[in-house]
Amino acid sequence: MTERDVLDPERWRWRRLWRFGVGFVWLELQSLVFAIAIFAALAITSVVELPIPRYDALLLFALLLTVVLWATGWETTREVGVILAFHLIGLGLELFKVSVGSWVYPDEAWSKVGGVPLYSGFMYAAVGSYIVQAWRRFDLRVTGFRLWPMTLLAVAAYANFFTHHWIPDLRWLIAAGFLIELRGTLVHFTVREPRYRMPLVLSFLAIGLALWFAENAATLLGAWAYPDQLVAWTMVHVGKVGSWSLLVSLSFVIVAALKHLEGVLDGREDDKPSVVVTRRRERAQRRAEARREREDQGPESGQEQGSQDRSLET
Question: pLDDT tens digit string along 197-224?
Answer: 999 999 999 999 999 999 999 999 989 9
DSSP per residue, 256-271:
HHHHHHHT-SB--TT-
User: Confidence class of residue 15 from pLDDT cuts 50, 70 and 90?
Assistant: confident
Mean pLDDT, rounded, for 247-271: 89
Mean pLDDT, rounded, for 235-261: 90
Please check whether residue 280 lies inside any domain of the structure.
Answer: no
User: Confidence class of residue 299 from pLDDT cuts 50, 70 and 90?
Assistant: low
* 17-32 per-position pLDDT tens digit: 888 899 999 999 999 9
130 vs 274 pLDDT, higher one: 130
The DSSP code for 192 is S
Q: What is the pLDDT, as a whole number, of residue 33?
A: 95
Q: Is the pLDDT of residue 313 over 50?
A: no
CB 134 within 8 A of CB 140: yes
Q: Where are the alpha helices (DSSP H) in 75-170?
A: 77-99, 121-137, 147-163
* 143-195 per-position pLDDT tens digit: 999 999 999 999 999 999 999 999 999 999 999 999 999 999 999 999 988 89
Please check whether residue 253 lies inside any domain of the structure.
Answer: yes
Please check whether residue 286 lies inside any domain of the structure.
Answer: no
Average pLDDT across the chain, whole number = 88
Q: What is the pLDDT, as a whole number, of residue 314?
A: 45
Please check whether residue 29 lies inside any domain of the structure.
Answer: yes
Domain that holds residue 241: 4-273
Query: Is 305 exposed, middle or buried (CB count within 10 Å of its CB: 0-12, 13-18, 19+)?
Result: exposed
CB 159 within 8 A of CB 153: no
Give the span between the Cα atoms of 293 and 272, in whole angstroms. Answer: 30
* 47-93 per-position pLDDT tens digit: 999 999 999 999 999 999 999 999 999 998 988 988 889 899 999 99
- CA-based angle 236:252:119, to the nearest 5? 55
Beta bridge partners of 266: 142
Please check whether residue 214 lies inside any domain of the structure.
Answer: yes
Q: What is the pLDDT, as a whole number, of residue 312?
A: 43
Helices vs. strands in the chain: H and E counts, helices first = 10, 6
Q: Is the pLDDT of residue 304 over 60?
A: no
Phi/psi of residue 194, nearest 5 degrees: -65, 150
Q: Is the pLDDT of residue 310 over 60?
A: no
User: What is the per-residue burial (b if ≥16 Cβ within 10 Å, else e) of 132-143?
Assistant: bbbbebbebbbb
Give the span between the Cα atoms of 183 and 143, in whole angstroms. Answer: 11
User: Confidence class of residue 5 from pLDDT cuts 50, 70 and 90?
Assistant: confident
Phi/psi of residue 116, nearest 5 degrees: -115, 120
Q: How many domains are contained in the chain?
A: 1
Please check whether residue 244 lies inside any domain of the structure.
Answer: yes
Please check whether residue 296 lies inside any domain of the structure.
Answer: no
User: Confidence class of residue 298 from pLDDT cuts 50, 70 and 90?
Assistant: low
- pTM of the model as a whole: 0.85
Give the span between the Cα atoms of 41 and 44, in whole angstroms. Answer: 5
Beta bridge partners of 188: 141, 197
- CA 79 remoteness from chain centre: 14
Please check whether residue 305 lies inside any domain of the structure.
Answer: no
Q: Which helix (H) or strand (E) holds 198?
A: strand 195-199
Q: What is the pLDDT, as a whole number, of residue 14?
A: 83
CB 254 within 8 A of CB 82: yes
- CA 177 remoteness from chain centre: 16
